[in-house]
Structure 1
Amino acid sequence: MKADAPSNGSGDAPDEAALNIRRIRSMLAIMFLLMTVYALYFGRDFFMPVILAFLLALTLTPIVRFLRKRGVPESISATLLVLFSVGFMTTAGYLLSGPAIDLINNAPTIGQQVSEKLNHLRRPFEKFMKISEQIGAMTEPTQEPGVSKVVVAQSGILSQAAGSVLSGVTSITIVFVLSLFLLASGTMFYEKIVQSFTRMSEKKRALRVVYDVEREISRYLLTVSLINAGLGVAIGLGLWALGMPNPMLWGAAAALLNFLPYIGALTNMLMVGVIALISFDSLAYAMLAPAFVLLCNIVEGQFVTPMVVGRRLEINSVAIFIAIAFWSWMWGFVGALMAVPLLVIVKVFCDHFDGLANIGNFLSAQQSAVEDEEDEDGDPAEDKAKIAA
């Protein structure tokens, strides 16, 4: 009996070809991702105001839709909303600029006062600080005689400030003008997306997905913005009742920083604690201000937002920290503020496509996994009915 020859036939060829195709697709996906990150990083002056305009338009879309049902044309409602946004931001910036500039100018004095208040806590560490200073002096290279240091002259501070102001004004103008066109155009933008498909079934599915994503994201952004505004008002009034200086500034900071989950609340609480420490004589009374800020953030994060927004759009903490770190590296503080809204957009988009369901599941909070386990432990007939639906 003859032994079977090793199989080198056509059966292995399709598997190898499919494997090569998968490898090529993976490499192309990685290259596309790297090129996208490269474009976003070096094209931040273009992409950042454009994305901000889309986020602002999505935030104001529910109001435009509500007024359209009452007979108000989209162009009129969009113009009024954008003008109101510009006026509100201009007024808020003007009112808060004075206390913010004073706080920045008095930063060295504030640091010295805090150091004096906490001087007794630093005494155990003074010996270690002196040792580190001596080590730093020993390791510093000595300058040889006859060798002079060369200092490169920096460009003028005024010219840098003027360039930054001009760039900021240009970006803000782009944000509001583009958001005005997006709001005033109504459904034209979505119609253009649908027209790119050929089959009627694909058009219907694309239209349903586009409207569902737009509706969920716009409601989320508007709701979260209103919740953050309410949080800022509550913190501002509470700090005013406690006698904190510039309570309006800290309320506005709380509303803005609350777009950064965990990090924003902690930052605002620390800043309020530092100012309260130098503003009040009693240490126990000074701790009331940061404690009140912490209480407001706990109530907002654990009760108000889950009850109003719902837990379906909750994002897991790991994804939030990664997104904040990534976008803050890309676009600084503005990018960090946009990190969570962009993450929610990605999650909602992934939930509407079966091929991206794994990404949406990864971005979901632990609560969704718990609900899935409860569904698996439930009635099998009920589960089959849900799957069939």
Structure 2
Amino acid sequence: MSVNETDPPVSDQPFPTAEVEVAPEPGSDSEVRPRPTRGALNRAVRESQLEVNAGIHRLLGMLVLLGTLYTCYFASELILPILLAAFFALLLSPVMKRLTSGWLPRWIAAFLLIAVSMATLVGIGNALYAPASEWASRAPRVIHNVTPKIKSLMRPLTEANKMGDSLNEMTGEKKSPQRVVVQAPDRPSLLSTTPRVLASVLAVVLLTYFFLLYGETLMRRTLMMRSTWQQKRVTVDIIRSIQSDISRYFLTVCSTSIALGCATTFLLWMLDVDTPLLWGALAAMLNLTPYVGPMIMAAMLAIVGLSQFPSLGAAMLPAAGYLGLHLLESQIATPLAIGRSISLSPLAIILWLLIWGWMWGILGLLLAVPMLVCVKVICSRVEGLERWAILLEK
């Protein structure tokens, strides 16, 4: 076979091949990873430091809160008179401003307010002393008469309990007898606590007088301790808001409580209940403590009805009528008078009442809601605490 002479000569070199770049597999040693820049490292370090600082601040806040509660529990005899005097001064501060706006000196206005308040309280106590002492002397007989009626009402529960006892006997389980120890009241302890109570009352009266007299001066001195204009403005806003909100809350609750007491007195008079004025005054005083006071008052009126009326329906009328009046006052009158700015969550109020009632007793129940109003005002004005104010709202 002949070869064409025009064809190019065949080269001995191999055919050229195309170079193909193969990407390294993920996770292999040949993979080139980007190095973080200095700015990214600094930003990560700052974020970690901020997280650590936030955790330290939260821990310190919890320790401060626990220390404050511990101090309030064990120093209640010192703290309670100061708080009572401060709240009484806040309640009387609007009247104090009106009296001192004219020619009346400040010390005379404070003395007049204290004297009128003490005379009013003494007059109310004197008017209620006779019926209260009468009911205190009748209390054993009333309880003795009411006990069979209460047992008849609780008969279904007792029968269920007897069935449970019979089942326990059938299964071989027996209840161990319980011993009840009744301790007689200690008269010397009562006599020893009387001077302390009188000293506490005198301390509250004197502190209220001096808070009314030097309240404005104390506020100006507090503002002088603030370093910047922003801090002074926030402090003035908090103090003014607490004064206005607490005064409005106290005046509103006192007014609605007095109206509820008058309505309860009229209702009990219409139902021919003995000493309606006493129960109306108790209804007004117990209404100052939300939820707890009305429940106690309804239970007392139920006992009074059972002791006075023979039928169950007539006996429950005083308690049912009072609860109806209380619902009208708590759901319509008080919210309309107080407004949205002081509205608080019922769950927050109940938890607050449990805490301060456990720590300070009856006075803690009376001071719990005003203190919660102050906490909400402070949280709503201080930067960083606004979410707590939203949590406390209704």
Sort the TM-score into its range (normalised by shorter chain). Answer: 0.7 to 0.9
Runs of at least 5 residues in structure 1 that lack an aligned partner in the other structure = 144-150, 366-389
Q: Report the Cα offset of residue 127 of structure 1.
A: 4.1
In the TM superposition, what are the counterparts of 1:86-165 in structure 2 within 5 Å?
86-129=118-161, 138-140=174-176, 157-165=186-194
Structure 2 partner of 1:384? none
Kept in 2, the 8 Å contact 1:323–1:343? The answer is yes
Structure 1 partner of 2:358? 329
Counterpart among 79, 93, 96 of residue 47 in structure 1: 79
User: After superposition, what is the alpha-carbon deviation per residue over 1:310-330, rounded to whole angstroms, capped at 9, x for unaligned?
Assistant: 132111110010011001011
Q: Hey, what's the Cα distance between the residues in 1 that align with 2:325 and 2:113?
A: 29
Counterpart among 245, 255, 262 of residue 233 in structure 1: 262
Q: Hey, what's the Cα distance between the residues in 1 that align with 2:154 and 2:185?
A: 39
TM-score, normalised to structure 2, is 0.81
Kept in 2, the 8 Å contact 1:60–1:222? The answer is no
Identical counterparts, % of pairs: 30
Per mean C-alpha deviation after superposition, the further-off stretch among 118-127 and 47-56 is 118-127
3-state SS of 1:261 partner: coil
Kept in 2, the 8 Å contact 1:75–1:185? The answer is no
Kept in 1, the 8 Å contact 2:267–2:321? The answer is yes
Q: Hey, what's the Cα distance between the residues in 1 that align with 2:42 and 2:385?
A: 33
Structure 2 partner of 1:294? 323
In the TM superposition, what are the counterparts of 1:171-320 in structure 2 within 5 Å?
171-320=200-349
Structure 1 residues 293, 26: CA separation in 2 closer, same or farther (over 3 Å shift)? same
One-letter amino acid of the structure 1 residue matched with residue 49 of structure 2: A
Q: Hey, what's the Cα distance between the residues in 2 that align with 1:352 and 1:309?
A: 20
Counterpart among 49, 58, 67 of residue 90 in structure 2: 58
Kept in 2, the 8 Å contact 1:273–1:286? The answer is yes
Structure 1 residues 173, 279: CA separation in 2 closer, same or farther (over 3 Å shift)? same
Q: Report the Cα offset of residue 229 of structure 1.
A: 2.0
Kept in 1, the 8 Å contact 2:81–2:203? The answer is yes
1:341 matches 2:373: no
**Count of residue correspondences:** 357
Q: Report the Cα offset of residue 352 of structure 1.
A: 2.2
TM-score, normalised to structure 1, is 0.82
Q: Report the Cα offset of residue 35 of structure 1.
A: 0.3
Q: Hey, what's the Cα distance between the residues in 2 that align with 1:133 and 1:94?
A: 51
Q: Report the Cα offset of residue 138 of structure 1.
A: 4.8
1:3 matches 2:39: no
One-letter amino acid of the structure 2 residue matched with residue 39 of structure 1: T
Kept in 2, the 8 Å contact 1:114–1:278? The answer is yes
Structure 1 residues 29, 122: CA separation in 2 closer, same or farther (over 3 Å shift)? closer
Per mean C-alpha deviation after superposition, the further-off stretch among 337-346 and 4-13 is 4-13
Q: Hey, what's the Cα distance between the residues in 2 that align with 1:326 and 1:278?
A: 34
One-letter amino acid of the structure 2 residue matched with residue 185 of structure 1: Y
Kept in 1, the 8 Å contact 2:256–2:334? The answer is yes
Q: Report the Cα offset of residue 268 of structure 1.
A: 0.7
Kept in 2, the 8 Å contact 1:217–1:348? The answer is no
Per mean C-alpha deviation after superposition, the further-off stretch among 34-43 and 336-345 is 336-345
3-state SS of 2:342 partner: coil
Structure 1 residues 75, 241: CA separation in 2 closer, same or farther (over 3 Å shift)? farther
Structure 1 residues 255, 142: CA separation in 2 closer, same or farther (over 3 Å shift)? closer
CA RMSD of aligned residues (A): 3.0
One-letter amino acid of the structure 1 residue matched with residue 33 of structure 2: A
Structure 1 partner of 2:11? none
Which one has the bigger helix percentage? 1
One-letter amino acid of the structure 2 residue matched with residue 48 of structure 1: L
Q: Hey, what's the Cα distance between the residues in 1 that align with 2:285 and 2:261?
A: 8
Kept in 2, the 8 Å contact 1:231–1:255? The answer is yes
